Amino acid sequence: MIGRNESCSSEQIPMSYIACLLYILEGLTGVQHLEDYLNYVAYLLWLFAPLVVSFILPGLILLLLYASVIILHIYKRRTDLKEAYSNDFWDGARQMLATLWYGHAKIWNELFRWMYENFRLPIVPLYGNFPVKLRTFLGEPIPYQPRVSSEELAEQAKSGVQFLINKHQKLPGNVFRALMERFTIQKKED
């Protein structure tokens, strides 16, 4: 390279534009061997380019497909939205937002239904924070009696459910105990 007291514009030593730019950057940043650092950055970009192509690009494509489906759903309801915007701006904005959320919910509902029908796994979005185990307890059957009214039958069912709650539910409820029951195996009680 050129000495520190010479400039790029002096015609004593011929340099390319890139070499002159590197010389100026070395002078501004105070970093020696800036060309080596830039070559290393170029190497890292070349190294991580396949990761960008294989992970980020498909995600971006899925995001664009998702956005296009929502836009098509809004386009399907364009006449309703035109009427809403012609009457009142805020009513049109409210209906536009409702249409956007409806399209969002429709896409996810169809996705989860498709996953369940194809894989037969109970794949659903989680509601709540704690993975507790749900158990079903069956009580004594209520025999059929033709002279029992619907109110009496409802009362019998209510008392049967209350008996099962009192027998199997541990009170007071405790989050830690619920988590421990989720991950431990207990013997069946008769």
Q: Is residue 84 part of a domain?
A: yes
Q: What is the dihedral of CA 97, 99, 104, 106, to 10 degrees?
A: 160
Q: Is the preceding peptide bond at 143 cis, omega within 30 degrees of 0? A: no
pTM of the model: 0.35
pLDDT at 155: 93
Query: Which among 94, 119, 144 is the end of a domain?
Result: 119
What DSSP string runs through 123-170?
-----SS--PPP-----------TT--HHHHHHHHHHHHHHHHHHH--
Q: Per residue in 114-140, pLDDT tens?
A: 877 787 766 555 555 555 556 777 888
Cα 73 to its chain centre, rounded Å, is 21
Query: Which among 100, 119, 138 is the end of a domain?
Result: 119
Residue 68 has pLDDT above 80, yes or no: yes
pLDDT at 163: 92
User: Do 114 and 176 have their domain in common?
Assistant: no
Helix (H, G, I), strand (E, B) or coil at 57: helix
Q: Is residue 9 part of a domain?
A: no
Q: Is residue 24 part of a domain?
A: no
Whole-number CA gyration radius for the chain: 35
Query: Which among 119, 138, 153 is the end of a domain?
Result: 119
User: Do 113 and 133 have their domain in common?
Assistant: no
Buried b (16+ CB within 10 A) or exposed e, 76-96: ebeeebeebeeeeeeebeebb
Q: Per residue in 138-167, pLDDT tens?
A: 888 888 888 999 899 999 999 999 998 888
Which residues form the domain of 77?
Answer: 48-119
pLDDT average, residue stretch 2-31: 66
User: Do 103 and 152 have their domain in common?
Assistant: no
75, 99 Cβ separation under 8 angstroms: no
User: Do 132 and 105 have their domain in common?
Assistant: no
